[in-house]
Structure 1
Amino acid sequence: MRFDNVLTGFIAEPRGRDGLLLAALLARQAGGHLTVATVQPPAWSAPGPARAEESAWRAYLDEQAEATLAKARELADELAGGDVDYVVHSHKGSGRGLVELARKLDADVVVIGSASGGGKGRISVGSTADQLLHASSVPVLLAPRGYADAPPEAFERITLAYRRGPRAEAAVASAAQAAVRLDVPLRLMTLLVSSGRRVKVEEDMLERLRDLASADLAAAAEGHRRRVPVEVEVPEGRTVAQALAAASWLPGELLVCASSGSGPLRRVFLGDTSVKIVRAATRPVMILTRQQ
């Protein structure tokens, strides 16, 4: 996984600051280039007398875009230093506009903040994220709401939500590459969700699942230990949220999820479990594209 070109969508709201800070942190630690983009609706083409209204609308859009980028420059100068580009892109949908711009700029990852409706410290998927999570051809990185209020100084560890399957090794390889690039250790984690009923049959089944998950994680980690320190963990809970909460989390943690196998090849697509992980996460979450 490369982080040579990091693209972040920015709006002059707290969520824009969250995404920009996360993108700047990633670009700085990975030694990549940061592009800050604002996506505005396109102006229409109108004949005759309506052209005056069209010109006024275009002028308004240009004024809004310039004000947004001025705010982005003010923040980025503080967060990212000098290696930053600023672009305005026109599209009816902000998420689809970022998908289009990522292809045009050959971006390696798209970073955005959470929708404003979610709780602080959690990720809320709004329309922009939803469009990205169904169409992006590069990984999507989501910042929890309020991430910029108390940011870490650096990434400290990458955790991959591991699930055994035909695409598991590709996800591990991508996470390991990211860990090498960021110079941090890698943790492979399988969430074990139980009903909470402590009857012997279920206890026996959980013990077998625990052993199987541990063996799978050990096998997945084995081929990557020479490149990066790898640890494994199997947290348990009655729900995905409880299992995530049972694990320890560093301030500079980055959580990585693979895309669903039912999604299109080389596109981001969230499955049911990944959706639950994203909603329960208290750290930034990166969703990989489907590789196989």
Structure 2
Amino acid sequence: MKIENVLTGFIPEPRGRDALTLALALARQAGARLAVATVQPPVWNTPGPARADESAWRAYLREQAAATLEQARGLIGERGGPEAEYVVHTNKGSGRGLVELARRRDVDVVVIGSAPGGGRGRISLGSTADQLLHSSPVPVLLAPKGWAEDGPPEFERLTVAYRRGPGCDAAVPLAARTAAGLDVPLRLVTLVVDGGRRARIEQEMAESLRRQAAADLRAAARGQRRRLEVDVEVLEGRTVARALAETDWLPGELIICASSSTGPLRRVFLGDTSIKIVKAATRPVMILTREP
């Protein structure tokens, strides 16, 4: 996947700064154009005396949009970022508004922050993410809470959460092209979730699963090693979170997940395992669209 146009939704809150910081790093390293958008609610269309209130509401929205984008412009200036385009869009839902912009503007990835309430360094999914992660026509990149203060200035490695199947098999070459464009190595990991104590026959089945997972990883990596460095790992734990904790994560790591095979083609659709990975991750996570 070649990244030439990055879109981020910005609000004057910490999560907006997290998303903007991550989007800025991605655009800078990929040599991409950056667009910063604020999504506003629609103006009333009530006839009669309410028209005066409508005029005041329009003026208020214009002022808020200008102030919001001016703050984004200042943050980009502080970080020595590239020139960006600033966009005001109208929609009842911020996620749906970003979906509309992504469709209209030939965007390659949409970047958003974590919903309020989650722990620092983790990703929480709110209404904006929910709307994007079930209908975006382009990949969605999620910034952990606090990324604006704690995140490194550039990416160091891309890690694909891999499980043999059409979705992940299509995701690997896309991730490889992205890694090559960012000039970073690629890693493929498969999670083997081990529920704990089991009977002997179950232990033997689990061992067989581990061997098969390792073989699948080697096969998936083999076709990409001509163009870049690719490592493989099988991560095992009693939960997804514990499995992810079984490896070392670089400060500039980016995790990539494929969309669920049950979702529509050319759309992002978050599956159950990907949801668990997103919630357990301590690094940014990109959800790819489902490819045919």
Residue deviations 1:71-129 (CA, integer Å, cap 9, x gap):
10010112352321111101000000000011111110000000011111100000000
> Partner of 1:41 in structure 2?
41
CA distance in 2, matches of 1:143, 1:220: 27
Shift of 1:40: 0.5
CA distance in 1, matches of 2:3, 2:122: 24
Shift of 1:204: 1.7
1:106 maps onto 2:102 in alignment: no
SS at match of 1:246: coil
SS at match of 1:234: strand
> Partner of 1:117 in structure 2?
117
CA contact (8 A) 1:192 1:234 kept: yes
CA distance in 2, matches of 1:79, 1:275: 32
CA distance in 1, matches of 2:241, 2:254: 16
> Partner of 1:174 in structure 2?
174
> Partner of 1:274 in structure 2?
274
SS at match of 1:153: coil
CA distance in 2, matches of 1:2, 1:34: 14
CA distance in 2, matches of 1:87, 1:33: 13
Structure 2 counterpart of 1:181, which letter?
G
Identity %: 70
* Mapping of residues 44-123 of structure 1, within 5 Å: 44-79=44-79, 81-123=81-123
CA distance in 1, matches of 2:73, 2:112: 16
CA contact (8 A) 1:28 1:80 kept: no
Unaligned 5+ runs, structure 2: none
1:224 maps onto 2:224 in alignment: yes
TM-score by length of 2: 0.98
CA contact (8 A) 1:137 1:266 kept: yes
Residue deviations 1:230-267 (CA, integer Å, cap 9, x gap):
00000110001110111210000000000000001100
CA distance in 1, matches of 2:149, 2:82: 22
Structure 2 counterpart of 1:244, which letter?
L
Choose 198-207 or 94-103, whichever is displaced more.
198-207
Structure 1 counterpart of 2:163, which letter?
R
Q: 1:178 to 1:97 in 2, by over 3 A?
A: same
Q: Once superposed, what is the RMSD of the aligned Cα atoms?
A: 1.0
Choose 272-281 or 197-206, whichever is displaced more.
197-206
> Partner of 1:29 in structure 2?
29
Shift of 1:210: 1.1
CA distance in 2, matches of 1:18, 1:147: 5
Structure 1 counterpart of 2:284, which letter?
P
CA distance in 1, matches of 2:243, 2:237: 4
CA distance in 2, matches of 1:154, 1:81: 12
Choose 252-261 or 79-88, whichever is displaced more.
79-88
CA contact (8 A) 2:27 2:34 kept: yes
Residue deviations 1:22-73 (CA, integer Å, cap 9, x gap):
0000000000000000000011223222111000000111111111111100
1:246 maps onto 2:220 in alignment: no
CA distance in 2, matches of 1:26, 1:123: 18
Residue deviations 1:206-229 (CA, integer Å, cap 9, x gap):
221111011000000001101110
CA contact (8 A) 2:28 2:82 kept: no
- Tell me the number of residue pairs that the alignment of Structure 1 and Structure 2 aligns: 292
Unaligned 5+ runs, structure 1: none
